[in-house]
Chain A
């Protein structure tokens, strides 16, 4: 193998100076290192690292000041945390944690820098080249024609009555954003203005407007299919975490990247059984990945995966869990990358068919919608039945085949995820499941079912003050029901709400602070198969005081 290519992000004050010192001291080290100088190693986001690897770098080094030497006090410590979690991600992705290193290098440690590069090179040689460098290049985005989008989504039928805008949670907070004005703009042949605007990326694609539009204009689809052109122009709105999720989702589109995504199956309390070949599959989706990428807010998404499998086992189902499974492609599709979405769809279809799967159960509503509605659109022979885990549970409850052993004494309120509710029309199943759990009292929020308010962010773009305001309003609604627990059936809702509560909140925390849990967690507890870590994230307020007042 030729010299491995290394991208090194080095801080201005120590590591870069160290590398410079190595140079002026004529210390020899492999030449295939590309130095990227940053002011502080704390500036290096996981997205930078992933981007470098995605583009074919064999390894990434982050170089910073020694502990306590950071010129910005603790940037290097933050960098270390990020690198550690990114290494976990690289493991999941099958690239391997060893391709990423962090090293403290002082300004006078030229030798240390050179040695690190030598050592890293040797390791990378042993690992072999980054498979992504040789991955088949995917074709360019075929940008859909504006007229075609408009007639397909019935945008031409718009009468500009503004019911969409008056319904939109974003428009209510951001006067720049208006679905009505957006469609009007395109009707006036000014679609290109939309393409270069931030508004294109501010839409939540939550379908509240569509639910109410008297002429059935599919605005979410209109936005979704207008995004690829903007992406071709090099625009991508303002992705969250500077687009790291897109990076690893795109990586999964590569054919030759062996995934390593099923370690979490080990050590489940219920002696979980999963198999490689069966007609019943549990589609995991990105749950393990989110657990890493959003580790700082305890997203609890891995619990969803573990509890789902435990629940299926309790129902007497040993599902297929594919170690090679890919991202479903939902987020890339909605972020303007239909080409990679299709590549992911094809790859998944091929793996799923090979495992002999006839029926897929899935706990993520976005994956559910994608597999059930988008795959048949882009795949010729996709005939696999897809159901959401809440539907499976409701089915069993209705047939009298499922009873919950444990009483869960809690009053809960339920957040309808956009994809499960407005996209797939599943409103009753989760409520039926919650209603069947002994001791659970379901109280509805002011806006529920088709009028439910979105969790504020979709497909990892535009997470700003508008999103936060939507989240606070929704959490306040949940809290004002008096429920002990906010249950949702979507890992993304859970991430967004937990994130909103993770930092400082505007106004009175008590008015919004409510524990958030996935449907699978409460079901697993009721079945007595919950994983130890699946307890709901505690609210900041004293739990003791609460239970005390209740008893």
Chain B
């Protein structure tokens, strides 16, 4: 019998669940696959429909969660296996070696600057726009703000040969190349799965030329480019020449509402985030023209429709009802031509733009099926976790004691993810209360007899 709750995934949804439980006095384990918690939201610039700075509202929650006396956060860790049952789960967690002693590191960046590969490895946290070394801190507001050494890239770990300048640079002696992966077994009474989402990789949509044309980027790349803490310091620049794009086209539903991509569902956020992206470009430079090519405008949340209307009226966003058929490139200027069928005006047209942003879909993250198998939780037809009842038990699964929340159940925005995180926390707390009650009742009846 354990009264701890294990939360898989340290994004905004998992953090909300953890804080709700911890503030109630319950103990929480949080297992995060990546070296920092924060998830997808930590990388966004602003969030709709309020245009709040994303990290500004998330960072305090990340820190509170990490430092909460009732929360134990295991980063760089994955769930390996599960046994037991509700009230008494045994969770096997593989904690990957960080090669940096978390208790010693102060996040001073000395090792990341000393690393001989510094500036030579594409930085996936910045969507490969910036670079990092083999020793690095994922991003400025990372929690924990502790360095990590990339095992696959580190010359010493991968090839056995390096001057190990990082060791020299670290005044605290935190670097530990001997650190090994570690398997720990955690006791938990209930589990919340909040593994979040992945963004659709638009490479297979060859007609849009992603990967072929330098100035075709996807929305996550856009977020990092327009982000003040991103690789360009928030200056929107074209990959081809570093110029500021003055005319930007956004193509909606890339990889969503598309049976060919395997994601026939609506990703439910791209109408809103493209509008937000357009507003941001306009806020940075009000001579920027933004054109959103949409299939249907699905602005269904509170304040959403008003947001879109504001986008058109105050930020000059042009909404065109068309799914473009193809993008071609001017080989000289690297400008792009968006070919579309103007379904309202009529006729095939092409529009010359400086940059195209593909509004890519939310898709289930890689490895979600394997996790589902380990937990015994069923998946739905689109490889999201399947709720026991979409209407009446949206956070429950087929396994008693295991709850799901956030974008691992279906595509959703921050508001919904936070709401679900809170909901799942409550379901987990109730469950543990029930089991504890049953256990004590049992113990009591035994005593009485």
Contacts and interface: CB of A to CB of B under 8 A. Distances in A.
Interface of A: 159-168, 171-172, 175, 178, 180, 209, 212-216, 446, 449-451
A163 B324 contact: yes
Interface in B44-92: none
A165 B343 CA distance: 10
B347 A161 contact: no
B323 A163 contact: yes
12 contacts: A166-B324, A166-B325, A166-B339, A166-B340, A168-B325, A171-B348, A172-B348, A180-B341, A214-B323, A215-B258, A450-B206, A451-B326
Given A175-B347, A214-B253, A214-B257, 16 more contacts: A159-B295, A162-B322, A163-B323, A163-B341, A164-B341, A166-B340, A166-B348, A167-B325, A167-B326, A168-B325, A171-B341, A180-B343, A209-B325, A212-B207, A212-B325, A215-B258
B208 to A, nearest CB: 10
B260 interface: yes
9 smallest A-B Cβ distances: which pairs?
A166-B325, A162-B341, A167-B325, A165-B341, A161-B323, A214-B258, A163-B323, A166-B341, A162-B343
A313 B298 CA distance: 62
Interface in B318-335: 321-326, 328
A163 B259 CA distance: 14
A159 B296 contact: yes
A449 B259 contact: no
Contacts of A451: 206-207, 326
Contact of A161 (B295, B326, B339): B295
Interface residues of B, number: 24
Name B's interface SS.
Answer: mixed
Contacts, number: 74
Contacts of B346: 175
B293 to A, nearest CB: 9
A52 to B, nearest CB: 43
Nearest to A210: B260
A213 B206 CA distance: 13
A274 to B, nearest CB: 41
A168 B340 CA distance: 10
A165 B324 contact: no
A214 B259 contact: yes
Contacts of A175: 346-348
Given A175-B348, A214-B258, A451-B207, A164 B325 contact: yes
B339 A172 contact: yes
- Among A164, A166, A180, A209, the one with the most B-chain Cβ atoms within 10 Å of its Cβ is A166
Contacts of A449: 206
Contacts of B258: 214-215
A78 B259 CA distance: 54
Contact of A162 (B257, B323, B328): B323
A451 B260 CA distance: 15
A446 B259 CA distance: 26
Contact of B260 (A159, A171, A178, A214): A214
B348 A165 contact: yes
- Among B321, B343, B347, B348, the one with the most A-chain Cβ atoms within 10 Å of its Cβ is B348
Given A166-B326, A167-B325, A214-B258, A161 B207 contact: no
A161 B348 contact: no
Contacts of A212: 207, 325-326
A427 to B, nearest CB: 11
A160 to B, nearest CB: 6
Contacts of A159: 257, 295-296
A457 B346 CA distance: 25
A215 B259 contact: yes
A181 B258 CA distance: 20
Given A175-B348, A180-B343, A163 B325 contact: yes
Contacts of A165: 325, 341, 348
A451 B210 CA distance: 14
A209 B325 CA distance: 8
A216 B263 CA distance: 12
Nearest to A208: B325
Contacts of B325: 162-168, 209, 212
Contacts of B324: 163, 166
Contacts of A446: 328
Contacts of B339: 166-167, 172
Nearest to A173: B348
Contact of A167 (B207, B343, B347): B207
A163 to B, nearest CB: 4
Nearest to B206: A451
A355 to B, nearest CB: 40
A110 to B, nearest CB: 61
B259 A216 contact: yes
A451 B327 CA distance: 11
A445 to B, nearest CB: 12
